[in-house]
């Protein structure tokens, strides 16, 4: 094989447009991390390592043919459920929540696995029953969603539980759940809000109340929101300039390399920068939708649609939380926040999108 | 035909799916529009407002650390308080060359090698943007000298701070504990309990002792000040202020003077003493000897002092009263006697003939009495007075381990006493189940024999034994021991009294109690094992001696204190309550390697009793005899 052939073989299953969007966001991440870490290379370099690992995983998944992808659904879901049960029974408590499982060699957070596992399982289920879909099937799929979500909400990790619910709901929605049921669910959700409120942990209620009036707890949870809004607001239209954010560099911003990294970005690059970032996200999301529209099977349509919509939800929830319209739930800004686990989970998803796109002609419909 | 329908269905399906997809795109666009509107609102409409907050006049939220609560003894003597003083501090991130700065500083202010080592340790453990202390307790003169030269040292400043002081130092170290700088473990724990906000600005947290157990009472509520600061971080104007409220004052049941006397009574001995008011569980004295200087730990201990404390063969950091586990030895006998009466195994008058040893039926192994040749004819009363081992070997064997376990566990043997200090150990009261779990072995009759005299698997802490003694003194009604008897609110000046909490009423037969207690009173009379305890006393003392073996004896070997390395000599126990008929105080003395309970532990107890009951101060301390020839109990 010539070098060119080798290169073609290597990139055969990579979607160049999607990769472009992802890489641009990753570059943004490194740029902002350098500033957020007060001009140190520590975080950017270790983020680079995270990126390398995640891109490799993405490449592997992208090269995986679709029928293999489908075959992984049940094992991944069952493993995830077992681990979640393990966490509930023997999990390690950290920061007041039982989220981690110590396997001896490493501690893992099984809810992270379920971010992929749940939509995968639901899409698999719908594909199996494609020919004969009735309301009963939607009900069973909803159960497949609610079991893990219930376990995760109990840990308690409300943020992740809500995000997984969203990704599962997207599968139901794309699978054609009737509008009647959707509006019924909506009404039921509204009606059960008081009940849910009473089930929440104190700190969760606290966070929601803080959103209404952050100044109530200026030293505690409200501090995050106040400082985040000051950073975003003071950025103005053009921003204060790279490495010149006073909120960031005078140590006012908490968690500025992880959940609040958007505040750093927004302070230094302003409204203009925000528009560029939104455009970048929309570019990735748009490509995801195109891949979804062209997907060849029921399973891949549902899966790629859910992955894309979930990605959009992450971005919205994080930016909404930093700019003070959503409670602080601990969701990172996708592809930008520092952290290896979320980077890996996201790129596994994008790897699936690429596989779906590049293998579609090999599948007979 | 059929095929055609299917195809059509498929197309319909694709159509519906794309419709849903279009709706999804719309949904995403709506979300983005929401964000956009929010960004425009924050960054354009409200930009000036946030600009003011962030840029020219940044609002700084300054926590105001509350004063830590005081700790007083029952008579109002101060055991822990705060004083203000000056410290020399630096923010490493603002200081160019730390090493040369320190060298130059030492020409103005005395900086010892110990200070340097401590500083380097703090430097290694520091959190971001924290200021680190170089020296504390600056003299007025040093403050003046530095102030004149301050311009030479950017990033170094003098601060007025509150310091914690423990007037009784070593004597109350194991009781009061100490505070120390908040480290990462503390931060994690605070975050876990959602307390991090209240510790913003706080540098210290209770690390051991009451300072730790009552941290939430002592810390107080942090206040907050919103100030406008200029770009250099200097405060310009105060916007609002919520004052802090000081921590609450703890009033202990401890009598500081009694504590002092007890501590000194130990002389050169290591050990522990716990004295309790049996009628309510109030702890009157709580000693673990040797102690240590708690002030060393407050600002981070220097490595040299740490090594000395940590590697000392005297283990001064070990809280012996709370965590030291020793075989109870013969102090278990009064409780065993009560058990024998309770289960109707022995009537008081039944006598045994003691040949000086005991053997199980069908076995030639001799369980020896401490007295060669035995005590002759022994009934229950005498068995306590002369501490006859043979009597209890037999009693334990007849009673069986299950009964022993059930009865003694009601005195909280093998359980924590529940005192309001963290880190208590629970001792060990063996049972069949325990042995199976621990050693995967069944219980043998031979195991029970030595349990009868408090050897074998048994382990107690001085705290536990003190609780059991107090419960016995109070006729089987036990009160949970506690050190804090009152919590005074700093804000309202209201007092919360800690109520006596009745743990158990064993409903013991008064006749049984009468027998055991009168035998214990006879222990301190001529013929008993602790005569020295009550010589010349104007009140009656009920007591029991005990010895805890440090090294085992071979069959047929004889214990000879003078031939054994000092640290392998037996530990001496003495438990007592007085006045014997109406006890006001119950106590436990453990003198490590003290040999015999009557010889070393009982005189210590006597000094404590004399002061508590008569207000009598001990004579200037006489050195305790080292190799006094005393009878073994």
pLDDT at res. B485: 92
Mean pLDDT for the stretch of residues A317-333: 89
CB B458 within 8 A of CB B213: no
Q: Is A91 left (phi over 0), alpha (psi -120 to 50) or beta?
A: beta
pLDDT at res. A304: 95
Model confidence pLDDT, tens digit, residues A259-305: 899 999 999 999 999 999 999 999 999 999 999 999 989 999 999 99
Domain finish residue from B230, B252, B274: B252
* Interface touch B43/A270, C-beta < 8 Å: yes
> In degrees, to the nearest 5, what angle opens at C-alpha A124 toward C-alphas A122 and A128?
115
Residues B220 and B129 in one domain: yes
Minimal-distance CA residue of chain A relative to B196: A220
CB B111 within 8 A of CB B134: yes
Residues 6+ apart with CB under 8 A from B299: B118, B122, B133, B136, B180, B181
Residue B509 domain flag: yes
* pLDDT category of residue B558 using cuts at 50, 70 and 90: low
Model confidence pLDDT, tens digit, residues B610-630: 999 988 777 654 444 444 334
The β-bridge partners of B184 are none
* pLDDT category of residue B53 using cuts at 50, 70 and 90: confident
Mean pLDDT lowest for which of A33-37, B337-341, B567-571?
B567-571
A10-19, A153-162, B289-298: range with highest mean pLDDT = A10-19
pLDDT at res. B231: 47
Residues B164 and B284 in one domain: no
Mean pLDDT lowest for which of A38-47, A140-149, B211-220, B585-594?
A38-47
Residue A268 domain flag: yes
Q: How many CB pairs under 8 A join A and B?
A: 136
CB A168 within 8 A of CB A302: no
Residue A243 domain flag: yes
Residues B275 and B133 in one domain: no
Model confidence pLDDT, tens digit, residues B364-377: 888 888 888 888 88
Question: Which of the pair, B509 or B129, is modelled with greater confidence?
Answer: B509
**pTM of this structure:** 0.62
Minimal-distance CA residue of chain B relative to A305: B21
Rounded Cα distance between A196 and A183, Å, is 19
Residue A2 domain flag: no
Residues 6+ apart with CB under 8 A from B440: none
- Domain extent for B274: 256-614
Q: How far is B37 from chain A (nearest CA, A)?
A: 11
Residues B244 and B276 in one domain: no
* Interface touch B226/A231, C-beta < 8 Å: no
Residues of chain B numbered 211-240 and touching chain A (CB < 8 Å): 222, 224, 226, 231, 233
Catalytic residues of B: 330
Domain finish residue from B194, B223, B252: B252
Q: Per the omega criterion (within 30 degrees of 0), is the bond before B579 cis?
A: yes
Q: How far is A230 from chain B (nearest CA, A)?
A: 5
CB contact B15 to A (< 8 Å): no
Residue A204 domain flag: yes
CB A95 within 8 A of CB A153: no
Rg (CA), chain B: 33
Residue B318 domain flag: yes
Question: Which of the pair, B200 or B31, is modelled with greater confidence?
Answer: B31
Residue B300 domain flag: yes
Rg (CA), chain A: 21
- Domain extent for A142: 18-364
* Interface touch B17/A323, C-beta < 8 Å: no
Residues of chain B numbered 315-334 and touching chain A (CB < 8 Å): none
Residues B193 and B289 in one domain: no
Residues 6+ apart with CB under 8 A from A214: A222, A223, A225, A226, A229, A324
CB A353 within 8 A of CB A347: no
Mean pLDDT for the stretch of residues B504-530: 89
Residue A9 domain flag: no
pLDDT at res. B286: 95
pLDDT at res. A364: 47
* Interface touch A233/B43, C-beta < 8 Å: yes
Minimal-distance CA residue of chain A relative to B27: A309
Residue B229 domain flag: yes
Does the pLDDT value for residue B30 go beyond 60?
A: yes
Count of helices and strands (H, E) across chain B = 22, 23
Q: What percent of chain B has pLDDT over 90?
A: 38
Nearest to B43 among A223, A232, A316 (CB): A232
CB contact B40 to A (< 8 Å): yes
Domain finish residue from B252, B286, B310: B252
Nearest to A247 among B39, B54, B231 (CB): B54
pLDDT at res. B563: 64
Rounded Cα distance between B39 and A49, Å, is 32
Does the pLDDT value for residue B127 go beyond 70?
A: no
Half-sphere exposure of A12 (CA within 13 A, CB side): 14
Residue B482 domain flag: yes
- Residue B442 sits in a domain of what CATH number? 3.40.710.10
Residues B112 and B226 in one domain: yes
Residues B177 and B317 in one domain: no
CB contact B25 to A (< 8 Å): yes
- Residue B185 sits in a domain of what CATH number? 3.90.1310.10
The β-bridge partners of A101 are A108
User: How much is the mean pLDDT over chain A?
Assistant: 87
CB contact B46 to A (< 8 Å): yes
Q: How far is A44 from chain B (nearest CA, A)?
A: 19
Residues B446 and B414 in one domain: yes
Mean pLDDT for the stretch of residues B85-107: 79
Residue A282 domain flag: yes
pLDDT at res. A119: 95
The count of domains in chain B is 2
Residues B329 and B424 in one domain: yes
Rounded Cα distance between B369 and B1, Å, is 107
Model confidence pLDDT, tens digit, residues B134-147: 888 888 888 888 88
* Interface touch B193/A278, C-beta < 8 Å: no
Q: Is A59 left (phi over 0), alpha (psi -120 to 50) or beta?
A: alpha
Nearest to B24 among A282, A298, A309 (CB): A309
Residues B119 and B73 in one domain: yes
Residues B427 and B538 in one domain: yes
Residue A7 domain flag: no
* Interface touch B53/A170, C-beta < 8 Å: no
Model confidence pLDDT, tens digit, residues B382-413: 999 988 999 999 999 999 999 999 999 999 99
User: How much is the mean pLDDT over chain B?
Assistant: 85
* Interface touch B194/A219, C-beta < 8 Å: no
The count of domains in chain A is 1
Model confidence pLDDT, tens digit, residues B321-355: 999 999 999 999 999 999 999 999 888 888 888 88
Does the pLDDT value for residue A320 go beyond 90?
A: yes
Nearest to B42 among A94, A232, A281 (CB): A232
Residue B177 domain flag: yes
Nearest to B197 among A93, A219, A250 (CB): A219
* Interface touch B43/A235, C-beta < 8 Å: yes
Question: Which of the pair, B218 or B629, is modelled with greater confidence?
Answer: B218
Residue to substitute from A178, A221, A232, A334, interface B, most B β-carbons within 10 A: A232
Residue B224 domain flag: yes
Residue B627 domain flag: no
CB A61 within 8 A of CB A76: no
Residues B312 and B377 in one domain: yes
Residues of chain B numbered 90-129 and touching chain A (CB < 8 Å): 128-129
Nearest to A278 among B32, B43, B233 (CB): B32
Residues of chain B numbered 184-213 and touching chain A (CB < 8 Å): 188, 191-194, 196-198, 200
């Amino acid at each position: 094989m010539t070098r060119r052939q080798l290169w073609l073989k290597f990139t055969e299953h990579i979607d160049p447009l999607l990769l472009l969007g992802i890489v641009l966001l990753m570059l943004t991440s490194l740029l902002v991390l350098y500033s957020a870490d007060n001009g140190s290379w520590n975080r950017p370099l270790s983020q680079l390592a995270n990126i390398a690992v995640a891109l490799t995983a993405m490449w592997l998944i992208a090269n995986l043919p679709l029928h293999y992808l489908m075959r992984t659904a049940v094992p991944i879901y069952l493993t995830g459920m077992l681990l979640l049960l393990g966490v509930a029974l023997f999990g390690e408590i950290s920061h007041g929540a039982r989220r981690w499982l110590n396997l001896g060699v490493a501690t893992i957070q099984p809810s992270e696995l379920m971010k992929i596992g749940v939509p995968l399982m639901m899409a698999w289920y719908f594909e199996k029953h494609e020919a004969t879909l009735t309301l009963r099937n939607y009900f069973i799929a909803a159960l497949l969603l609610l079991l893990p979500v219930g376990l995760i909400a109990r840990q308690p990790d409300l943020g992740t539980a809500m995000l997984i619910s969203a990704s599962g709901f997207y599968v139901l929605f794309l699978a054609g759940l009737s509008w009647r049921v959707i509006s019924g669910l909506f009404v039921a959700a509204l009606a059960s809000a008081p009940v849910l409120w009473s089930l929440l942990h104190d700190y969760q209620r606290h966070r929601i109340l803080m959103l209404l009036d952050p100044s109530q707890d200026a030293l505690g949870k409200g501090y995050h929101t106040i400082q985040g809004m000051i950073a975003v607001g003071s950025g103005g239209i053009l921003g204060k300039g790279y490495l010149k954010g006073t909120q960031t560099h005078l140590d006012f911003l908490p968690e500025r390399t992880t959940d609040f990294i958007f505040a750093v970005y927004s302070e230094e690059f302003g409204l203009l920068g925000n528009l560029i970032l939104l455009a970048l996200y929309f570019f990735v999301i748009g490509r995801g939708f195109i891949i979804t529209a062209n997907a060849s099977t029921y399973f891949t349509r549902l899966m790629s649609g859910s992955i894309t919509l979930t990605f959009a939800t992450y971005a919205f929830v994080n930016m909404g939380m930093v700019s003070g319209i959503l409670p602080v739930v601990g969701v990172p800004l996708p592809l930008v926040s520092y952290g290896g686990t979320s980077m890996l989970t996201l790129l596994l998803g994008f790897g699936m999108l690429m596989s779906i796109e590049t293998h579609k002609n090999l599948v007979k419909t | 035909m059929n095929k055609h329908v299917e195809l059509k269905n498929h197309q319909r399906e694709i159509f519906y799916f794309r419709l849903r997809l279009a709706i999804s795109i719309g949904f995403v666009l709506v979300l983005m529009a929401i964000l956009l509107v929010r960004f425009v609102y924050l960054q354009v409409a409200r930009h000036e407002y946030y600009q003011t907050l962030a840029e020219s006049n940044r609002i700084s939220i300054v926590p105001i650390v509350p004063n830590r609560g005081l700790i007083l003894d029952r008579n109002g003597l101060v055991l822990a308080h705060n004083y203000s003083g000056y410290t020399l501090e630096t923010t490493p991130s603002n200081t160019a060359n730390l090493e040369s700065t320190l060298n130059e500083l030492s020409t103005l202010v005395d900086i010892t090698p110990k200070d340097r080592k401590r500083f380097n340790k703090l430097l290694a453990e520091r959190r971001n943007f924290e200021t680190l202390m170089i020296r504390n307790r600056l003299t007025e003169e040093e403050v003046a000298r530095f102030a004149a030269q301050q311009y030479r040292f950017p990033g170094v400043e003098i601060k007025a701070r509150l310091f914690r002081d423990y007037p009784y130092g070593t004597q109350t170290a194991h009781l009061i504990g100490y505070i120390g700088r908040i480290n990462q473990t503390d931060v994690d724990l605070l975050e876990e309990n959602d307390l991090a906000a209240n510790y913003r600005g706080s540098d210290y947290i209770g690390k051991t002792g009451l300072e730790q157990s009552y941290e939430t009472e002592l810390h107080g509520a942090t206040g907050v000040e919103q100030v406008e600061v200029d770009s250099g971080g200097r405060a310009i104007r105060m916007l609002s202020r919520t004052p802090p409220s000081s921590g609450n004052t703890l009033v202990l049941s401890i009598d500081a003077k009694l504590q002092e006397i007890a501590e000194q009574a130990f002389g050169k001995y290591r050990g522990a003493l716990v004295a309790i008011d049996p009628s309510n569980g109030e702890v009157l004295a709580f000693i673990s000897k040797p102690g240590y200087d708690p002030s060393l730990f407050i600002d981070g201990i220097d490595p040299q002092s740490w090594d000395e404390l940590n590697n000392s063969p005297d283990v001064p950091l070990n809280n012996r009263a709370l965590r030291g586990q020793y075989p109870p030895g013969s102090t278990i006998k009064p409780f065993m006697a009560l058990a024998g009466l309770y289960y109707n195994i022995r009537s008081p008058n039944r006598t045994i003939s003691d040949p000086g040893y005991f053997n199980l039926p069908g076995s030639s192994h001799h369980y020896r009495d401490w007295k060669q040749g035995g005590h002759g004819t022994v009934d229950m009363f005498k068995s306590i007075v002369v501490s006859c081992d043979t009597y209890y070997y037999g009693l334990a064997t007849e009673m069986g381990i299950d009964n022993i376990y059930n009865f003694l566990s009601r005195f909280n043997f093998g359980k924590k006493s529940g005192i309001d200090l963290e880190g208590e150990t629970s001792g060990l009261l063996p049972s069949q189940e325990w042995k199976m779990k621990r050693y995967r072995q069944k219980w043998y009759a031979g195991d029970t024999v030595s349990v009868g005299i408090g050897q074998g698997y048994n382990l107690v802490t001085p705290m536990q034994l003190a609780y059991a003694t107090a419960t016995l003194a109070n006729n089987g009604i036990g009160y949970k021991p506690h050190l804090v008897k009152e919590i005074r609110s700093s804000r309202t000046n209201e007092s919360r009294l800690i109520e006596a909490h009745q743990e158990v009423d064993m409903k013991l037969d008064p006749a049984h109690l009468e027998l055991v207690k009168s035998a214990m009173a006879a222990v301190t009379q001529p013929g008993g094992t602790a005569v020295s305890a009550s010589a010349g006393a104007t009140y009656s003392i009920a007591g029991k001696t005990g010895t805890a073996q440090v090294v085992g004896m071979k069959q047929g070997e004889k214990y000879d204190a003078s031939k054994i390395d000092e640290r392998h000599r037996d530990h001496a126990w003495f438990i007592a309550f007085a006045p014997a008929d109406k006890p006001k105080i119950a106590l436990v003395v453990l003198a490590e390697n003290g040999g015999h309970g009557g010889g070393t532990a009982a005189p210590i107890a006597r000094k404590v009793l004399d002061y508590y009951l008569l207000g009598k101060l001990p004579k200037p301390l006489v050195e305790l005899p080292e190799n006094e020839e005393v009878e073994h109990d």
